Structure 1
């Protein structure tokens, strides 16, 4: 598992927060999130796992509550996450 640095977590929290408001575009959030994550110098072998771990830090309020309510282990791939997030 790749350790997450506190400055990386803060970058996700401040760089592209998503609150789950009707005025926010979830597709744009994913695009912004991926652009931000891809700008980091991450180990390519762990890219998907790192995306999954970092995504939670980009969510706020209703969106964060949504993710927390999902059953543990129900998301195992980036595709799983994006499909559920966009639904």
Structure 2
């Protein structure tokens, strides 16, 4: 019998090509903006969290999320792409499961990602 010498991290990541949900496809950045940037931990830390519970208001979550992102978008960064990259970090539990179950390529712009409020 062969011994599997992979680490726990390697085993837990098997089958995942990246941490980005397959349902999100990024478009090109707006003119004079870049889509190459690093998400800062302060942005992720200040993002509101949405769990997908019946007592939560998805519209309020989106408004709060947009306020945080708009106040922390670096100069020359496409704000819509920043929101699309940061949004999965604002979802927890049932809401995150929903995001990862969407068909590949479902979300192609920030405006399209708002559809979760109708489905949840």
TM interval, short-chain normalised = 0.7 to 0.9
Give how far 1:58 is off: 0.2
Give how far 1:43 is off: 3.6
Q: TM-score, normalised to structure 1's length?
A: 0.84
Residue in 1 that maps onto 2:86 = 54
Give how far 1:46 is off: 1.2
Compared CA separation, residues 43 and 74, structure 1 to 2 (3 A)? farther
Higher helix share: 1
Structure with bigger gyration radius? 2
Contact 2:84–2:109 (Cα < 8 Å) also in 1? yes
Unmatched segments (≥5 aa) in structure 2: 1-34
Q: TM-score, normalised to structure 2's length?
A: 0.62
Give how far 1:61 is off: 0.1
Distance in 1 (alpha carbons) for counterparts of 2:111 and 2:73: 22
Unmatched segments (≥5 aa) in structure 1: none
| Pairs aligned (count) | 84
Backbone CA RMSD of aligned residues? 1.8
Distance in 2 (alpha carbons) for counterparts of 1:27 and 1:53: 19
Q: What whole-Å deviation, never above 9, does each CA across 1:17-62 have from its counterpart, x for those lacking one?
A: 0000001000000011011111104245511111111000000000
Residue in 2 that maps onto 1:18 = 50
Compared CA separation, residues 49 and 70, structure 1 to 2 (3 A)? same
